[in-house]
Structure 1
Amino acid sequence: MKTLTMDDNLQHESVTPKAPKRKKKTKGDFWKSVGQQKYLYFMSIPFVIWLFVFSYVPLWGWTMAFQNYKPAKSFSNQKWVGLKNFVELFQDERFYLVLRNTLAMSIMGIVVGFIVPIVFAILLNELRSMKFKRTIQTVSYLPHFVSWVVVAGIITKLLSIDGGIVNEILLSLHIIDQPIQFMAKGNWFWGIVTASDVWKETGWNAIIYLAAITGIDKEQYEAARVDGASRFRQIWNITLPGIRPTIMVLLILSIGHLTSIGFEKQMLLGNSLVTDYSEVLDLYALKYGIQINRFSYGTAIGMFNSIVSIILLFTANGLFKKFAKESIM
């Protein structure tokens, strides 16, 4: 065995590459970077102002949740009631029913409305005819631009007992003996809303996945075909891992909006027969807050909604960062 001498050690140390030292960024470097990218900063100023005016300035209105707010009085003359509105909110049995509806439709929307666009984008990407592919893509995202007022009218007509195409098909196939009043059955309402939302938004939501798929290196597919991989194996081993970061980011954002699903489709598709299944948090705030001039109570509902969304966003981001190594922050 050869014994290393001091000269050998010195020689070994001399050829060992040393990690380059990172240069600490100074204020001068920051301003230098700003000077180099000044046009980008100037372009972003209008959007920063818009964000500040419409997203941060309205947070001042949260003070109404701790007041017995009266529009005729100035801010200094409002009566402060502390957490009274929140106590009243959490003691209302209707609130928990509404929260159940909101979470149920949100979870169904995430599970179905999140998976379907991914599958649709992958299947669309597998089409070989570019003309047919573009036609399908155009037709699929057009419903996104249709108002929910129009969509609700279409859905109601399709499910109507008076000439509705769904009942007509079921009757002609002898699946049912008499028309079904779909819009009067509360336990079917969540499914109707979810299906309507999927039909309206699938094509639009698939665009971002199609964009992510185009960013995958085509040589990976060529190498897989040379190795004899089927198209399904290519999708499983190349396409899905390639769009995984996009899927994770959008999933985290969707979880953050779990309680903020709006109220348009529920209000337009709902009726007095399915109120116990159609009412969501935003609609509850509108009905029991703003419409009867209980502005402080409505603000408390909105504040609860926003805080829960923030907690869900940070929780989902932390879990995905820990287990899936994906994060948006």
Structure 2
Amino acid sequence: MAQAALHAQRRNKAAKIARQKYLYLMLLPAVVLVFIFSYVPLAGWIIAFIQFRPGFDLLPAQWTGLREFANFFTQGNDYVYLLRNTLAMNIGALITNLLSAFLFALLLNEIRNRYFGKLVQTVTFFPFFVSWVIIYSFSSALFASSAGAVNETLVGWGLIEEGVNFMGDPKYAWLFMIGLGAWKYLGYNSVIFISSIASIPAEYYEAAEIDGAGRFRKVWHITVPGMVPTLIVLLILNSGWILNSNFEQFYLFTNTTNWEKMEVLDIYIYKYGLQLLNYPYATAVGILKTFISLALIVGVNALSKKATGKAIF
């Protein structure tokens, strides 16, 4: 009986795959691209373990082992401010982006005029498609210390005596980057939460209304709990990107006055790999970042599973 059930289960699985064969074929190009551009380059990790020199064969190179990995922690204190900057801005951005999108989707869902709600959603989604180069140009026009529109307005109104250097003063660097990221990704992230709201059965609201629940109680007891699972999944997925920063964003906004608070791991790897041409060291730092990110997502997933019972694996 057990073998017959096992064979039946296998036949059902094979039949299901046969029915969905076109879906698998549609996924095939994406799988091939991910394999080519994400997994094949992993062979280059060997550079971190050898005395690599461009233009020479890899195999005869001298084996250095874990020397470059140790150099990251023993030569100076680069890792201290790098991890400080990366974690501070990325964790701040993660919390700000998710919570702002969560609240925005909640408020947007309460707009009774459907066309106005769609207009607001479209306007907030637009910045997601604007490149960081354009955002940098707008930021310079608005927040430049001498000729920025914001500073000129504040000085003209007598609120401040001289312009504030938002883009150069290190004490504003973290908040400025987190704020720009929240503005850019608000519309995109809110779409995910709006989708989770749409999946809540309408019967829940009807039953609550029959029981005399008001608008606020329906939001608090039905909408918010229905959005929390999506929030947890996004938190788990994004935890693996805490050490990964948007290279274009930080490359554009980093300058000689704020670099101490702006240099993150991705900029550091770029500097040593493509500017100083220290390929083994840059590769070693990249490998460290990858394994720490993997550990983070596994740890957050385990913590979420233990605390809330919800996890992605």
TM-score range, shorter chain: over 0.9
Deviations 1:142-190 (A, max 9, x none): 0111110110111122111233232234334433222222222101100
- The farther-off stretch of 78-87 and 168-177 is 168-177
Distance (Å, rounded) in 2 between the aligned partners of 1:260 and 1:35: 39
- Report deviation, 1:29: 4.2
- Report deviation, 1:39: 2.1
Deviations 1:182-236 (A, max 9, x none): 2221011000001111111101111111111111111211222232322222111
The answer to whether structure 1 residue 103 and structure 2 residue 103 are counterparts is no
The amino acid that maps onto 2:109 is N
* 1:7 aligned partner: none
- Report deviation, 1:51: 2.0
* 2:49 aligned partner: 66
C-alpha change, 1:218 and 1:319, in structure 2 (3 Å) is same
The answer to whether structure 1 residue 131 and structure 2 residue 115 are counterparts is yes
2:52–2:279 contact (8 Å) kept in structure 1: yes
Distance (Å, rounded) in 2 between the aligned partners of 1:72 and 1:161: 46
The amino acid that maps onto 2:17 is V
> Number of residue pairs matched?
308
The 5 A counterparts of 1:147-162 are 147-162=131-146
The answer to whether structure 1 residue 325 and structure 2 residue 309 are counterparts is yes
Distance (Å, rounded) in 1 between the aligned partners of 2:270 and 2:312: 32
* 1:282 aligned partner: 266
Distance (Å, rounded) in 2 between the aligned partners of 1:54 and 1:292: 24
The answer to whether structure 1 residue 90 and structure 2 residue 73 are counterparts is yes
2:239–2:296 contact (8 Å) kept in structure 1: yes
Distance (Å, rounded) in 1 between the aligned partners of 2:193 and 2:175: 25
1:155–1:196 contact (8 Å) kept in structure 2: no
The answer to whether structure 1 residue 216 and structure 2 residue 200 are counterparts is yes
- Report deviation, 1:137: 0.8
Q: Scaled by the length of structure 1, what TM-score is found?
A: 0.89
Counterpart among 46, 49, 57 of residue 32 in structure 2: 49
2:53 is paired with a residue of what secondary structure?
A: coil
1:77 is paired with a residue of what secondary structure?
A: coil
Distance (Å, rounded) in 2 between the aligned partners of 1:169 and 1:251: 39
C-alpha change, 1:172 and 1:23, in structure 2 (3 Å) is farther
* 1:192 aligned partner: 176
The 5 A counterparts of 1:1-329 are 23-24=5-6, 27-92=10-75, 93-329=77-313
C-alpha change, 1:245 and 1:23, in structure 2 (3 Å) is farther
- The farther-off stretch of 261-270 and 280-289 is 261-270
2:272–2:279 contact (8 Å) kept in structure 1: no
Superposed CA RMSD? 1.7
Distance (Å, rounded) in 1 between the aligned partners of 2:266 and 2:121: 32
- Report deviation, 1:278: 0.6
Distance (Å, rounded) in 2 between the aligned partners of 1:159 and 1:303: 37
